[in-house]
Structure 1
Amino acid sequence: MTPALNSVIVVDDEPSIRSAVEQWLSLSGFTVQLFSRAEDCLAALPAHFPGVILSDVRMPGMGGLELLAQLQGRDPDLPVILLTGHGDVPMAVQAMRAGAYDFLEKPFSPEDLLGSIGRALEKRQLVLENMRLHQRVDLKDRLDASLLGVSPGMVQLRRQVLDLAQLPVNVLIRGETGSGKERVARCLHDFGPRADQQFVALNCAAIPEQLFEAELFGHESGAFTGAQGKRIGKLEYADGGTLFLDEVESLPLAQQAKLLRVLQEQKLERLGSNKSISVDLRIIAATKPDLLDEARAGRFREDLAYRLTVAPLRLPPLRDRREDIPLLFAHFARECAQRLGRKAPPTSAGQLANLLTHDWPGNVRELINAAERHALGLGDIEALPVSGGLSLAAQQEAFEAQCLRAALARHQGDIKAVLNELQLPRRTLNEKMQRHGLQRDAFIKDERA
């Protein structure tokens, strides 16, 4: 639950009123901001202000009614309490019809003021909580479309990504080649508060060691032979946003110490310069091996490993989430076919069996290649080598899960239609759906526009 709100903005041109109200509210535990002019309040007001506006009606320049109209245009749910003189009561009643939360006639008692503000804050808290819930649902829907899969591992991964995206912590993603580490890093950036800033990706294994420092920190003109002109490094370029360090285990030891200092001090120096530059960035790193194992072997700094591993994420290999293979294959084949303006060929039961029994050492990247070749009519799914370690029972389970999922998707969660198509008793279908982790709600078409 969101913590109770306690912020109040007071707008009144009379210093004595501002002082008295501030004293009453501060003694009652409220955080108070004072403004003598409505224009100043509007200029300083943040979006989705977590509190209440308390404003006099009659003020030089912009009055309380005009302020109310401006606030209504920005945020119709923001509670505004108007302070009125005796002759302004009819005007205040009219203002309440226009959207004011309440009005208090001067002189008012502290008890009346606190009661009105308390009720307004309760309303504001409910509005903001509802807004956050809707935003989270929207983010979840978008994330489901970015990180595809219905396996328990992918459901858990999406939940972790959604939570970590909002937190100002460094994340270390560990996974095999082709498992989607950069896609996950991009989601952590896109679904967080830095989404409108730079996402800068750097593959640490692709840069020669002698060029690494200049690439990461930048350089001034003439800093070394061939350094013509000033160059902004990746760390500085990512200021305000996210720096993604792929294959971070390949980072040279000398640069590890300098990167650690940047993370600790939030400052860097370009090559050839003595000037410190402040940076505000989030680091998302990706690795195949365990960084702490690398540290024990002397190939990686232990202190940097701990600094990067504030929040670890482990990506499951494709062979450990075989129930996602048909969904992913169909998605990527359809994507490729649409780009080419053609229809993706169907996948036969035999081809599906081969997809489910192949080990996919290249993970999702290999699957994308196979799906695109299939869409082009060039693939030979039957020729894929199958895993020797997958039992017949496991293959049957995977195939059954795919059949259930396909039927639920075709009928958009209509259980009666699925029962008729698959010719199953209701109890049997329920047991199978529970065993395969299938929820009817996940297949109901979302009618929201």
Structure 2
Amino acid sequence: MPDSKFRILLVDDDPDLLRLLSMRLGGAGYEVSTAESGEKALGQFTVFRPHLVISDLRMEGMGGMALFQAIRDINSSIPVIIITAHGSIPDAVEATKQGVFSFLTKPLNGRDLILEVEKALKVSAGPGRDLGEVGSEWRRDLITQSPIMEDLLAKAKLAGESGSSILLLGESGSGKEMLAKAIHLASPRKDQPFVAVNCGAIPEALLESELFGHTKGSFTGAVQDHAGLFKSAHGGTLFLDEIGDMPLPLQVKLLRVLQEKEVRPLGSTRAIPVDVRIISATHRNLEKELAEGKFREDLYYRLNVVSLELPTLAQRREDIPLLANHFLVKLTKKNRKKINGFSSEAMEVLLAAQWPGNIRQLINVVEQAVALATTPVISADLLKSAIRDNPEKIPSFAEARRKFEQEYLVRLLQITRGNVSQAARLAKRNRTDFYKLLQRHHIVPTMFKS
């Protein structure tokens, strides 16, 4: 029986065939996830992180080849098997030319399918490669195809393996806790506890007890001993979210714990050794807080051995369709509604929105749209009322070019103080052409001579 770590994403708009193939592959020892459309499969892809995709060729909406192209854009190393009832030699040749692993015709022979799957998975794993690394288990919950995020995740994995303290920076709602959990899973401590606490959400009077613990009777209401989060995270990772909100007196005590590697619960005279890796996070500018005396410099350098900054959702717009479809799949299942996807106009609304609340806001918008949707496709109007902000207008190519030319010409004339001949030489254009450009943009050189 094959290794249970191998995951297969099965895509077909025929529910009976989907169920039959799922049973066959599950019976052969594979972990199987199913999708009834290409759009839903794409939403599941980055969450399920399959080692292999098997898809029907012809489906309503996104077909098998369109799904293959989308998958290849995200991860070109994942093999795809296409199945069809309309198979032909030219189709198969064209599909394999484009990179499809193989092309199977219905009705499928169960034994042939399993053999083809085994061959594809050997290609996916590669000779001598660790099966656990194929799906990158540590980052399964982080959905992205953004180069900025991929670069961040590469650094996060190295930082996770190092054991150093890590400070995560980024706006609220950008996914700092999810990244912290992924770093924990990429570390040697992955089998030990991951404990998270929001330092800004707990009153100052209770935060010390929550972190370090207390003994019975140490204060009013302490009716029993409490271990504290440091002790709960022993051997693993403690995630201190919104560390910038921690009061100064408590910062002193936290620093002492990090230096001495032991905690003393409130009301106790005995210190308890703790082995905890610290990941902290904040949306605040801690360097500004240092300058204003609101954050201790020695604690800052203790926590900030490695610093990673999460991009805003607006900085990773290429992830918006992927994230939106992922949340749609989860929320339609939770609400037991039949929604197939977003209209093209609705997706344009999502792509143009400003997203000040980042991923948290996107989840909220999709959830509201799912709750109020009365059709199988989410409309643009439904999203506009949910977003309620001024969309970021994406200019046309002509508008962007005109703006660039105007700013460029103004900058040249500022540098040369209105000397057209000198500006034309810097632009590597002859003087006549340069004057025509100035006239086109209604720029008068004499305005810059002073």
TM-score, scaled to structure 1: 0.56
Q: What does residue 295 of structure 1 align with? A: 290
Instruction: Kindly state the Cα deviation for residue 377 of structure 1 after the two structures are TM-superposed.
Output: 3.7
Q: Are 2:138 and 2:183, in contact at CA under 8 Å, matched by a contact in 1?
A: no
> CA 1:395–1:388 in structure 2 vs 1: closer, same or farther (change >3 Å)?
farther
Q: 1:203-256: CA deviations, max 9, x gaps?
A: 111111112211111111222233222111111111111111111111111110
Aligned equivalents of 2:254, 2:397: Cα separation in 1? 46
Q: What does residue 391 of structure 1 align with? A: 394
Taking the TM superposition and a 5 Å limit, the aligned residue runs for 1:202-241 are 202-241=197-236
Aligned equivalents of 1:387, 1:394: Cα separation in 2? 21
Aligned equivalents of 1:278, 1:285: Cα separation in 2? 21
> CA 1:234–1:348 in structure 2 vs 1: closer, same or farther (change >3 Å)?
same
Taking the TM superposition and a 5 Å limit, the aligned residue runs for 1:20-419 are 134=130, 137-138=133-134, 140=136, 142-143=137-138, 145-378=140-373, 380-383=382-385, 384-385=387-388, 387=390, 389-393=392-396
Q: 1:343-362: CA deviations, max 9, x gaps?
A: 32321121111111100111
Aligned equivalents of 1:218, 1:173: Cα separation in 2? 25
- Partner of 2:230, secondary structure, is helix
Instruction: Kindly state the Cα deviation for residue 339 of structure 1 after the two structures are TM-superposed.
Output: 2.7
Code of the residue aligned with 1:381 in structure 2: it is: L
> CA 1:291–1:135 in structure 2 vs 1: closer, same or farther (change >3 Å)?
farther
Q: 1:72-126: CA deviations, max 9, x gaps?
A: xxxxxxxxxxxxxxxxxxxxxxxxxxxxxxxxxxxxxxxxxxxxxxxxxxxxxxx
Larger radius of gyration: 1
Code of the residue aligned with 1:185 in structure 2: it is: A
What do you get for the CA RMSD once the two structures are aligned? 2.5
Q: Are 2:353 and 2:391, in contact at CA under 8 Å, matched by a contact in 1?
A: no
Aligned equivalents of 1:394, 1:317: Cα separation in 2? 25
Q: Are 2:354 and 2:391, in contact at CA under 8 Å, matched by a contact in 1?
A: no
Q: 1:43-99: CA deviations, max 9, x gaps?
A: xxxxxxxxxxxxxxxxxxxxxxxxxxxxxxxxxxxxxxxxxxxxxxxxxxxxxxxxx
Aligned equivalents of 1:395, 1:227: Cα separation in 2? 69
Aligned equivalents of 1:222, 1:362: Cα separation in 2? 43
Q: Are 1:334 and 1:375, in contact at CA under 8 Å, matched by a contact in 2?
A: no
Code of the residue aligned with 1:134 in structure 2: it is: D
| Stretch deviating more after TM superposition (265-274 or 311-320) | 265-274
> CA 1:343–1:159 in structure 2 vs 1: closer, same or farther (change >3 Å)?
farther
TM-score, scaled to structure 2: 0.56
Q: Percent identity among equivalent residues?
A: 42
* Structure 1, gaps ≥5 residues long: 1-129, 398-449
Aligned equivalents of 1:143, 1:267: Cα separation in 2? 29
Aligned equivalents of 1:294, 1:315: Cα separation in 2? 20
Aligned equivalents of 1:349, 1:382: Cα separation in 2? 14
Aligned equivalents of 1:394, 1:202: Cα separation in 2? 47
* Structure 2, gaps ≥5 residues long: 1-126, 401-450
Aligned equivalents of 2:397, 2:347: Cα separation in 1? 14
Q: Are 1:186 and 1:199, in contact at CA under 8 Å, matched by a contact in 2?
A: yes
Give the ranges of 4+ consecutive aligned residues of structure 1 lying more than 6 Å apart after TM superposition. 394-397
Point out which structure has higher relative CO (alpha carbons under 8 A, 6+ apart).
Answer: 2
Q: What does residue 444 of structure 1 align with? A: none
Code of the residue aligned with 1:260 in structure 2: it is: L
Aligned equivalents of 2:299, 2:398: Cα separation in 1? 43
| Stretch deviating more after TM superposition (278-287 or 344-353) | 344-353
Q: Are 1:357 and 1:386, in contact at CA under 8 Å, matched by a contact in 2?
A: no
Instruction: Kindly state the Cα deviation for residue 327 of structure 1 after the two structures are TM-superposed.
Output: 0.9
- Partner of 2:363, secondary structure, is helix
Aligned equivalents of 1:230, 1:182: Cα separation in 2? 28
Instruction: Kindly state the Cα deviation for residue 200 of structure 1 after the two structures are TM-superposed.
Output: 1.0
Aligned equivalents of 1:257, 1:139: Cα separation in 2? 42
